[in-house]
Structure 1
Amino acid sequence: MANFTIADIKALREQLGTGMVDTKKALEEADGDREKAVEILRLKGAKGNAKRADRSTSEGLVVAREGEGKVTLVELACETDFVAKNDKFITLADKVADAAAAVAADSVEAALAAPAGGQTVEQLISDEAAVIGEKIVLRRVRTVSGDAFEVYLHKTSKDLPPQIGVVVAYTGDDAATARSIAQHISFANPSYLAREDVPEAEVAKEREIVTEISRNEGKPEAALPKIVEGRVNAFFKQVALLEQDYAKDNKLSVAQVAKDAGITVTDFARFKVGA
């Protein structure tokens, strides 16, 4: 007869979050050896991870960690909203964010390699995914550096953790305006800070597209340069934060709002789960 008690089953379940039947079977197979039972359960979970490899991960959360002169933004993805609001998943996200921030990770690869309690973040996620029973993916990581920051985390549903996260780095003293700009970013989803940051190849492609559209609309050839530049400027207002119409007052640009408040936005990051 296996050398373990109901108390042992309960303790192991609380440690790993595994089901009663699986925990009991693992202890039976390990003849009551807790460490061996943990290995058995994790191996079983790892095999489950492999089976789940092709599943989609459209749910999850965004979490931020502020440090001295930097903020790290992390998107951790899972399969269902049920898991996204699960305490184990939220705790995992916190651990991942702590580890990523500790090394100022600016890529998924750097974050996955970061130490996290005697293992790497990659191993931590794999182990926890085995216990939780869903595919879990560290989708995006970004560390923003600057003098001052505003972090805005937005819940798209009151029942779920934040699914949109924004970090704004700025200079100046008007934190309220910086936060308002962070809220604007969450809504407007700019890709770049300023028009100068938009890659030349992307601008050239847009100019080519709007030129063709304008010609197809039968616009006079002589008027094309002015029409095209107007449409390219409209493109900048879509993708560059400082060019955008301010969400709270579309008569002003974000650049003008920042200038009036005496602040300069130096960088930003925005993550939305699944986007």
Structure 2
Amino acid sequence: MAITASMVKELRETSGAGMMDAKKALTETDGDMEAAIDWLRTKGLAKAAKKSGRTAAEGLVAVSVDGGTGVAVEVNSETDFVGKNAEFQEMVASFATAALQVADTDALQKFEIGGKPVSEILTDKIATIGENMGLRRMAKLEGDTVVSYVHNAVADGMGKIGVLVATKGGDEAFAKQVAMHVAAVNPASLSEVDLDPDVVEKEKQVQMDIARESGKPEQVIEKMIVGRMKKYMAEVTLLNQAFVVNPDLTVGDAAKEAGAEITGFVRLEVGEGIEKKVENFAEEVAKTAGKG
């Protein structure tokens, strides 16, 4: 069967594949459009597998709020450039909307959008865009009022840092200010009660070791540690931090003045905790040339 330009165009628009790939798919399947799409998908899966070893530490965080429920979803890519891609942004936005209906990342991977699981949508997009990508995590927050904030947004509801804040009482304007504070200061927890005990103990040991270097008696050191740990708590817990909008008040005191209770927050930043592989350029060239 003769493969026409209009057939190639139709397959490209349907699959997002390149011209030569679309033409080859039609040739291999004797012009059968559905079979050609399957052929491309199979090829796309092979491409995605090859790309899966690459580090994906860029991408976007998208937030979505529906009533008293908010979600933040991180989808990674290899380069920052992909974060500006309209196709990628549309996909990430659809994942955030879907996340409102599931409990965790595993459930989101299996959730179907337009009859196709999120994991499969992501794999198809890897083949189309040509970079490794990954649905890394999602976080859900519920409360009387939930507001969202995106720092340095590249599109509506998505950027490099996504924040959700849940409050009881007060107004959304104050909650939004708190969300901006969370984005800027990155607290470790809401209060001392929520702070990981292992993190607290590790910090206490570090401070003890520093204090012992001074040569002071243990009784004096113990008193020093009380003060240092109090200062540490003020630095890492949201309610005890100096409010960026009014540094004369803690966030907790500002909430009282606003007639609000902050009941929870979520902060996701693209790529945090991912170790980016940095290779020596000369070594990379040598490897490419088969010398390394």
Q: TM-score, normalised by structure 1?
A: 0.93
Aligned to 1:29: 28
Residue 184 of structure 1 deviates from its aligned partner by 0.4
Unaligned runs of 5+ in 2: 273-292
CA contact (8 A) 2:207 2:225 kept: yes
In structure 1, distance between residues paired with 2:145 and 2:153: 26
In structure 2, distance between residues paired with 1:156 and 1:70: 21
CA contact (8 A) 2:192 2:237 kept: yes
Q: CA RMSD in A?
A: 1.7
Aligned to 2:161: 164
In structure 1, distance between residues paired with 2:3 and 2:165: 54
Letter aligned with residue 48 of structure 2: N
1:192 and 2:189 are equivalent in the alignment: yes
Aligned to 1:41: 40
Letter aligned with residue 227 of structure 1: M
Letter aligned with residue 180 of structure 1: Q
Residues 134-172 of structure 1 deviation map (CA, whole Å, 9 limit, x = unaligned): 1111111011011102210111779xx511100001011
Unaligned runs of 5+ in 1: none
- Which residue, 182, 185, 200 being the options, matches 1:203? 200
Q: Which residues in structure 2 correspond to 1:221-236 (within 5 Å)?
A: 221-236=218-233
1:16 and 2:15 are equivalent in the alignment: yes
Aligned to 2:281: none
CA contact (8 A) 1:73 1:167 kept: yes
Residue 12 of structure 1 deviates from its aligned partner by 1.6
Residues 72-110 of structure 1 deviation map (CA, whole Å, 9 limit, x = unaligned): 11111101122111111011112211222122x3x3212
Letter aligned with residue 168 of structure 1: V
Q: Which residues in structure 2 correspond to 1:1-275 (within 5 Å)?
A: 2-103=1-102, 105=103, 107-155=104-152, 162-275=159-272
Letter aligned with residue 142 of structure 1: A
Identity rate of aligned residues, in percent? Answer: 39
In structure 1, distance between residues paired with 2:23 and 2:214: 72
In structure 2, distance between residues paired with 1:30 and 1:217: 78
CA contact (8 A) 1:42 1:131 kept: no
Aligned to 2:279: none
Residue 222 of structure 1 deviates from its aligned partner by 2.6
